[in-house]
């Protein structure tokens, strides 16, 4: 029940307790007034024979006592009952998203830079409070006290999606089908409390905003524009901005990068470890907002789940950091998240190495390629007229039963033999069997004319060519062979300046080194002037160390680094592996067979959320048992589908042709909604900040409405105290 006291103030009586207090106050007023009446009527009759002035004073005394008692009881009643005052404020709705909850025993809301009083004031002034619960499990109710849900239950409306919210707003502009159906008009301002929304969740709101603007433009009328204001939740402690390869080729290094997120008031240091089967593969010590990089290499193909373990360092190691309060998140607790990786063993790069003489660089590269089960053919000149050939992991190096023959090489099956005068020559058939040819400068310049022609034609058809360059290559400027000039003239090379000869290589997603790991500077064999888009490996000083240029369907690359084999000893084999996997991906022949596209390194596929998965397949008729593939509009070879998973774990994707022959297979991992909560929060914060910055608030466009809010009762307490004091002094004065 609402009782209007004045035009501005109203009294709320909405519980049995309130009615009990009103009844108690009435009984108190009636009892006190009765006692006062008895007090004045019980005086002796002789005292009543007074003059008129004395009688008037007695009546005034009686009236003041009645008034004082009435004022006291009314002030007490108004002090304990809820009273609201009318105020004018901007009209808005509130959207409660996951992450809006109470924390600690004091039940403070976990919004950053907003205190409890301001939050309650916003909830009280809001026209409607929308509670987003996408999975209909009451997840948002768990962190809110029953008192909050009770106080605003008349305003709170639970929705399962933002599309449902915009549909309610849109239907309000039309007459409802039922005469008593409630209507919910879109507010000019929507305040979003909590973690915020994902990019996908923002789309219905942005579409509704765009439609409203279009409607206003067409009708040439002024209507309320929907604006947004996000009040973000406090940061959770954990790893965010994560990136790692979801699918690796055997031997390729796994690199996990990201940064540590902590609350603003927290400066605890942590040790972050990459763990597999309780064995620490790599670790680093990080503090708030510091980036990190962890690296390892799988020795076998299969499906793997690694753990990212974040453990706080002991206080003795972080004595300079301020001590955290017990209410701060993550205090003394370790955080563990799963990293899922699929390691495949197919589509290995077939490499042909032709060198003017054996070298440590070639030997280490051959060993690494053998570890990844790649097929390698090495042709080496061992004297003026003598060549040697070595094959690793080739079909001819297996027995009839499929097992590998024994050999002294520890890194894969190989066979080495001397070849005749013509066995070392390149030809079209030999080059067609390989994806990448690696040569040094002397071997390139020693090629015969028909070899150069075959090499050029093979590159034009998709072959990759990587040249170890040195100053010998500078002598080929006036070479009479036209095909060789076409290859070398793609690049501008010169002698390396002595002051810039010592370099440290730098390439995208280069693994971060530990403090104990130091790489010695390498000598750049030549200086390369790279055109825009050519450089794939540079130096910390800005030099181009490896550049590439397309030739037809293939790629020609030239490298000034000829001693990368030292990295596997100076740092780790994983660092060396990361460099060469990157180099092969940039230079080797591109696969043109049917294959599933790998997911993005920053993608987080969650259960019950659709993911777009695509297949590259030249055959037009391809089907998959778990999805309905449809042709991509801009590519006849690209076919995509939307896929979701009901539970956490691996999902196997298969593609078959018309004859039900398996064309491609891939495994995707789907994470639970409770995984990587700090990362999910950080992504929602970033996306929400992007959209609220794009559509900044304009106070002159916000319509105003009249609302009631609780008044300040300090004046009621003062009136109650004064009236009670006057009544006490009057009683003492009469008793004296």
What pLDDT does residue 177 have?
44
What's the average model confidence in pLDDT over 287-316? 89
Q: What is the H or E stretch that residue 25 is in? A: helix 16-41
Phi, then psi, of 79 in degrees rounded to 5: -70, -35
What pLDDT does residue 410 have?
40
Six-digit token string for 565: 């084999």
125-136 pLDDT, tens digit each:
888 999 988 776
Helix (H, G, I), strand (E, B), or coil: what is residue 670?
strand
pLDDT of 62 above 90:
no
What pLDDT does residue 315 have?
63
What's the average model confidence in pLDDT over 475-480? 64
As a whole number of angstroms, the distance between CA 558 and CA 671 comes to 42
User: Please, are residues 695 and 43 in contact by the beta-carbon 8 Å criterion?
Assistant: no
Q: What is the dihedral of CA 467, 472, 477, 479, to 10 degrees?
A: -90
Higher pLDDT, 478 or 160: 160
CATH code: domain 358-400+410-563+578-587 is 3.40.50
| Nearest CA-CA partner of 546 in 461, 464, 458, 424 | 464
Mean pLDDT of the chain: 80
- Within 8 A by CB and 6+ apart from 376, the residues are 350, 351, 352, 353, 366, 369, 370, 390, 391, 392, 393, 412, 414
pLDDT of 30 above 80:
yes
User: Please, are residues 69 and 691 in contact by the beta-carbon 8 Å criterion?
Assistant: no
pLDDT of 700 above 70:
no
The β-bridge relationship of strands 611-616 and 595-596 is antiparallel
pLDDT of 593 above 90:
no
As a whole number of angstroms, the distance between CA 528 and CA 491 comes to 7
Six-digit token string for 701: 């466009």
Task: Give Cα 558 to chain centroid, integer Å.
Answer: 37
Asked, colleague to colleague, whether 358-400+410-563+578-587 and 595-670 share their fold, the answer is no
| pLDDT range class, residue 251, cuts 50, 70, 90 | confident
Class of domain 238-319+330-345 (CATH, top level): mainly beta
User: Please, are residues 650 and 618 in contact by the beta-carbon 8 Å criterion?
Assistant: no
Helix (H, G, I), strand (E, B), or coil: what is residue 582?
helix
CA distances from 355 to 292, 608, 666 (A): 39, 54, 37
661-681 pLDDT, tens digit each:
888 899 999 999 999 999 999
CB atoms within 10 A of CB 259: 15
535-570 pLDDT, tens digit each:
999 988 888 999 999 998 899 999 998 888 888 888
Lowest-pLDDT choice from 144-153, 431-440, 591-600:
144-153
As a whole number of angstroms, the distance between CA 313 and CA 334 comes to 10
| pLDDT range class, residue 707, cuts 50, 70, 90 | low
User: Exposure of 552 by Cβ count < 10 A (0-12 exposed, 13-18 middle, 19+ buried)?
Assistant: middle
pLDDT of 280 above 90:
yes
What pLDDT does residue 525 have?
81
pLDDT of 323 above 50:
no
- Per mean pLDDT, which of 50-59, 139-148, 271-280, 691-700 is the most reliable? 271-280
User: Exposure of 560 by Cβ count < 10 A (0-12 exposed, 13-18 middle, 19+ buried)?
Assistant: buried
End-to-end CA, the chain: 46
As a whole number of angstroms, the distance between CA 472 and CA 479 comes to 12
What's the average model confidence in pLDDT over 103-132? 83
What pLDDT does residue 322 have?
42
| pLDDT range class, residue 325, cuts 50, 70, 90 | very low
| Nearest CA-CA partner of 236 in 678, 679, 683, 687 | 678
pLDDT of 238 above 90:
yes
Alpha helices in 408-557 (DSSP H): 428-432, 441-445, 449-460, 482-488
What's the average model confidence in pLDDT over 586-598? 80
As a whole number of angstroms, the distance between CA 358 and CA 12 comes to 94
What pLDDT does residue 282 have?
92
What's the average model confidence in pLDDT over 565-579? 83
Phi, then psi, of 190 in degrees rounded to 5: -115, 115
User: Please, are residues 466 and 436 in contact by the beta-carbon 8 Å criterion?
Assistant: yes
User: Exposure of 290 by Cβ count < 10 A (0-12 exposed, 13-18 middle, 19+ buried)?
Assistant: middle
> Which residue's entry shows tokens 């950080």?
682
List the beta bridge partners of residue 192: 95, 230
User: Please, are residues 314 and 300 in contact by the beta-carbon 8 Å criterion?
Assistant: no
What's the average model confidence in pLDDT over 702-718? 65
User: Please, are residues 312 and 333 in contact by the beta-carbon 8 Å criterion?
Assistant: yes
pLDDT of 397 above 60:
no
Six-digit token string for 489: 């003239």
As a whole number of angstroms, the distance between CA 618 and CA 459 comes to 22
What's the average model confidence in pLDDT over 484-509? 83
As a whole number of angstroms, the distance between CA 609 and CA 630 comes to 19
| pLDDT range class, residue 643, cuts 50, 70, 90 | very high
As a whole number of angstroms, the distance between CA 100 and CA 144 comes to 8
What pLDDT does residue 699 have?
37
Q: Per residue, what are the HEC states of 363-427? A: HHHHHHHHHCCCCEEEEEEEECCEEEEEEECCHHHECCCCCECCCCCCCCCEEEEEECCCCCCCC
Lowest-pLDDT choice from 4-18, 315-329, 342-356, 588-602:
315-329
| pLDDT range class, residue 272, cuts 50, 70, 90 | very high
What pLDDT does residue 184 have?
84
Higher pLDDT, 445 or 695: 445
Q: What is the dihedral of CA 597, 601, 604, 605, to 10 degrees?
A: 10
What pLDDT does residue 607 have?
93
pLDDT of 240 above 50:
yes
pLDDT of 199 above 50:
yes
pLDDT of 691 above 90:
no
Higher pLDDT, 84 or 189: 189
What pLDDT does residue 107 have?
72
What pLDDT does residue 459 have?
92
- Counting every residue written for the chain, the total comes to 736
User: Please, are residues 132 and 162 in contact by the beta-carbon 8 Å criterion?
Assistant: yes
User: Exposure of 226 by Cβ count < 10 A (0-12 exposed, 13-18 middle, 19+ buried)?
Assistant: buried
| pLDDT range class, residue 49, cuts 50, 70, 90 | low
| pLDDT range class, residue 400, cuts 50, 70, 90 | very low
| Portion of the chain with pLDDT greater than 90, in percent | 27
Report, at the CATH architecture level, how domain 595-670 is classified.
Sandwich (2.60)
Domain spans of the chain, in order of start: 2-85+713-735, 92-234+680-702, 238-319+330-345, 358-400+410-563+578-587, 595-670
| Portion of the chain with pLDDT greater than 70, in percent | 82
User: Please, are residues 610 and 644 in contact by the beta-carbon 8 Å criterion?
Assistant: yes
Phi, then psi, of 600 in degrees rounded to 5: -65, 145
As a whole number of angstroms, the distance between CA 666 and CA 363 comes to 33
3-state helix, strand and coil shares in percent for the chain, rounded to the nearest 5: 30, 30, 40
Helix (H, G, I), strand (E, B), or coil: what is residue 588?
coil
Higher pLDDT, 171 or 464: 464
Global model pTM greater than 0.95 = no
| Nearest CA-CA partner of 545 in 585, 595, 500, 578 | 500
């Amino acid at each position: 029940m609402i009782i209007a006291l004045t035009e501005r103030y109203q009294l709320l009586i909405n519980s049995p307790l309130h009615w009990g207090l009103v009844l108690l106050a009435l009984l108190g007023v009636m009892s006190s007034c009765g006692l006062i009446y008895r007090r004045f009527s019980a005086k002796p009759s002789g005292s009543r024979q007074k003059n008129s002035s004395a009688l008037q004073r007695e009546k005034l005394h009686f009236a003041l006592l009645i008034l004082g008692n009435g004022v006291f009881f009314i002030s007490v009643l108004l002090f304990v009952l809820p009273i609201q005052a009318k105020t004018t404020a901007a009209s808005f709705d509130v959207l409660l998203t996951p992450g809006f909850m109470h924390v600690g025993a004091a039940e403070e809301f976990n919004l950053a830079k907003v205190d409890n009083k301001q939050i309650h004031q916003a909830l009280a002034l809001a026209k409607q409070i929308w509670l987003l619960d996408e999975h209909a499990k009451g997840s948002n109710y768990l962190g809110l006290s029953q008192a909050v849900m009770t106080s605003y239950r008349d305003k709170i409306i639970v929705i399962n999606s933002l599309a449902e919210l915009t549909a309610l707003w849109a239907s309000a502009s039309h007459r409802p089908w039922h005469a008593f159906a409630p209507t919910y008009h879109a507010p000019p301002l929507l305040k979003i409390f909590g973690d915020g929304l994902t990019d996908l969740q923002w789309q219905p709101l942005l579409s509704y905003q765009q439609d409203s603007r279009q409607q206003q433009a067409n009708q040439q009328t002024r209507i309320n524009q929907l604006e947004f204001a996000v009040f973000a939740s406090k940061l959770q402690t954990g790893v965010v901005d994560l990136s790692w390869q979801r699918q690796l080729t055997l031997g390729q290094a796994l690199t996990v990068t990201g940064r540590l997120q902590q609350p603003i008031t927290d400066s605890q240091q942590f040790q972050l470890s990459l763990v597999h089967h309780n064995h620490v593969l790599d670790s680093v010590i990080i503090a708030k907002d510091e980036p990190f990089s962890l690296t390892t290499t799988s020795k076998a193909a299969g499906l793997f789940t690694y753990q990212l373990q974040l453990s706080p360092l002991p206080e003795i190691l972080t004595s300079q950091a301020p001590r955290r309060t017990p209410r701060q998140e993550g205090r003394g607790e370790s955080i563990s998240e799963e990293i899922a990786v699929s390691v495949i063993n197919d589509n290995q790069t077939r490499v042909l190495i032709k060198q003017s003489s054996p070298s440590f660089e070639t030997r280490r590269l051959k060993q690494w390629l053998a570890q990844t089960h790649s097929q390698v053919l090495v042709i080496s000149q061992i004297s003026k007229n003598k060549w040697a050939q070595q094959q690793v992991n080739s079909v001819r190096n297996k027995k009839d039963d499929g097992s590998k023959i024994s050999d002294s090489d520890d890194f894969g099956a190989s066979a080495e033999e001397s070849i005749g005068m013509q066995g070392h020559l390149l030809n079209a058939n030999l080059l067609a069997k390989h994806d990448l040819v690696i040569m040094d400068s002397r071997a390139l310049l020693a090629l015969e004319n028909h070899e150069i022609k075959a090499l050029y034609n093979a590159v034009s058809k998709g072959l990759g060519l990587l040249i170890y360059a040195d100053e010998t290559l500078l002598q080929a400027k006036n070479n009479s062979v036209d095909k060789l000039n076409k290859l070398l003239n793609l690049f501008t090379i010169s002698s390396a300046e002595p002051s810039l000869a010592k370099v440290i290589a730098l390439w995208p997603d280069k693994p971060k080194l530990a403090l104990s790991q130091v790489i010695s500077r390498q000598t750049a064999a030549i200086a390369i002037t790279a055109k825009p888009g050519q450089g794939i490996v540079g130096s910390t000083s800005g030099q181009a160390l490896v550049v590439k240029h397309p030739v037809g369907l293939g790629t020609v690359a030239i490298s000034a680094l000829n001693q990368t084999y030292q990295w596997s000893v100076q740092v780790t084999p994983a660092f060396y592996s990361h460099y060469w996997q990157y180099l092969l991906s940039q230079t080797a022949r591109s696969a043109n067979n049917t294959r599933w596209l790998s997911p993005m390194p920053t993608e987080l596929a969650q259960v019950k959320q659709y993911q777009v998965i695509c297949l590259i397949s030249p055959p037009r008729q391809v089907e998959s048992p778990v999805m309905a593939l449809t042709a991509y509009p801009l590519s006849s070879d690209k076919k995509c589908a939307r896929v979701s998973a009901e539970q956490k774990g691996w999902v196997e994707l298969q593609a078959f042709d018309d004859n039900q022959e398996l064309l491609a297979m891939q495994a995707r991992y789907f994470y639970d909604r409770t995984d990587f909560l700090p990362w999910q929060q950080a992504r929602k914060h970033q996306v929400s900040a992007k959209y609220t910055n794009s559509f900044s608030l304009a106070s002159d466009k916000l319509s105003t409405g009249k609302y009631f809010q609780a008044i300040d009762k300090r004046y009621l307490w003062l009136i109650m105290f004064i009236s009670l004091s006057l009544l006490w002094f009057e009683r003492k004065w009469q008793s004296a």
